[in-house]
Amino acid sequence: MVKIVTGDGSDIPKSLVKKYDITILKHPLYFGDEEVTGISPEEFYRRVKEGEMPRTALLPTGLLVDTYEKLDTDTILSIHLSSKMSGTYNSALTAAEMVKDKVKVEVFDTGLTTLGQGTIVLESAICASLDKDIKSVKSKTEEVKSRVKMVLAIPDLNFLHKSGRLGKGKALLGAMMRIIPMITYSGGEIVPFGRVRTESQAMEKIKDEIRKDFAKFKAEKLKVLLGYTTDEKICHKLEESIREEFSIEELHILQLNPVVGVYLGPGAWGISYYPMGS
């Protein structure tokens, strides 16, 4: 059976990680020189709000090699965050090459991070759990990648800016009025999605986008992941609002992993949706 490996930057509900037997590796996490890998979100955001600057590192090749070798399978699909955002994809390629005599590892670049990556991992794992071969699983992974969209609302873009990963999203910086910057991904990189003044405008903008994608893919229903760094309420409002309009196959709300929080900062939230059907 194909087994799925990913990093903990993939935001997936914990219950499903177990259910679909997904192996999640922890990205190293630091405050200054102090390693705090695996820290609880509460503790993490408390320290961030106190002004400490966190940082992460890519998944070490050694950890990937160990994991690939120890998994009880002959085929692994290793799914990672955008290769334009992190060297993890390359680490995985190197690791896959090193273990190729023992186990076949296919490495996949989602071109996304956090919830979007989570959706791709989750759907691939569901497919793998049906005992499909690597070819079918990978084609599922590709299909989901071609449809999934992630939009994040990030009140404070400085975390992303300092990390050097904001890319074209820089156009959203510097506004002398209070705005909520929104980003999405294109070609593996961050691009501006829009700037709004209020949460309800942000939600409307997201729903507009879902409507467009619904029509584009002639979709019938959605699978949705909603995530937040510190404020859960907005996700529930968004859930209510999209349930009113769209047919929802599955929806989960989760707190984003600290390794993602490093880049999004407190107050951020977002959605990843996968339009299904036809």
Partner 1 sequence: MIDKIDFKMFRNLLIGGYERLSSQKEWVNNLNVFPVPDGDTGSNMTLTLKGGLSGDGNIVENSLLAARGNSGIILSQFLKGFVDAVNHKDQIDTRDFAIAIKEGEKAARNAIRNPVEGTIITVMKEASRCAIQSSRRERDFIRLLENIEKAAKLTLKKTPEMLPVLKDAGVVDAGGQGFVYILEGALYSLREYNLENDIVPHISKRLHIWKTLASIENIYRIRNLLDIGNHMVKIWQSRTIGMDLAWERVLSLIKNRKIKTIPTLKQFARRLISVWERKIEYKYDVECLVRGENIEKQSLEEEIAPLGDSILVVETPSLTKVHIHTNEPDKIFEICSRYGELDDRFIEDMEEQQHEFITAKQDTETEIHQKVIIILPGDGLCEIAKSMGAEAIKSSNPSTKEVLEYLNSEDFHFVLPANGDAIPASLQALKCSKKSGVVIPAKTIPEGIAALLAYNPELEPNENEENMKEAIKRVKTGKVTISARDAQFGEVKVNKEDIISIFCSEIKVHKSIKEAVFELVRKMEGEIFTLFFGMDTKKEDAETLLVQLKKEVSEKDFELYYGGQPFYQYIIGAE
Q: List residues near partner 1 by CB under 8 A.
A: 168, 171, 174-179, 186-188, 191-198, 200-201, 216
Nearer to partner 1, 130 or 171 (CB): 171
Return the number of the residue (37 or 201) whose C-beta is nearest partner 1: 201
Nearest distance from C-beta of residue 228 to partner 1, angstroms: 20
Q: For 22, what's the count of Cα atoms within 13 Å in the CB-facing half-sphere?
A: 29
Question: What angle is formed at CA 207 by the lines to CA 203 and CA 212, rounded to 5 degrees?
Answer: 150
Eight-state DSSP code of residue 257: P
CB of 198 to partner 1, least distance (A): 5
State in angstroms the smallest separation of the CB of 195 from partner 1.
5
Listed residue (219, 217, 234, 245) closest to 271, CA to CA: 234
Q: Are the beta carbons of 4 and 23 closer than 8 angstroms?
A: yes
φ/ψ (deg, to 5) at 110: -75, -20
Please classify residue 250 by burial: count the beta carbons closer than 10 Å to its beta carbon, then call 0-12 exposed, 13-18 middle and 19+ buried: middle
Cβ closest to partner 1, residue 134 vs residue 191: 191
- Give yes or no for a contact between 91 and 60, defined as CB atoms under 8 angstroms apart: yes
Q: State in angstroms the smallest separation of the CB of 163 from partner 1.
A: 20
Nearer to partner 1, 194 or 261 (CB): 194
- Residue nearer to partner 1 on the CB measure, 179 or 248: 179
Give the nearest distance from C-beta 201 to partner 1 in angstroms.
7
The least CB distance from residue 166 to partner 1, in Å, is 13
Closer to partner 1 at the Cβ: 192 or 270? 192
Exposure b/e, 188-224, CB count within 10 A at least 16 = b: bebebbbbbeebeebbebbbebbeebbeeeebeebbb
The answer to whether 68 and 99 are in contact (CB under 8 A) is: yes
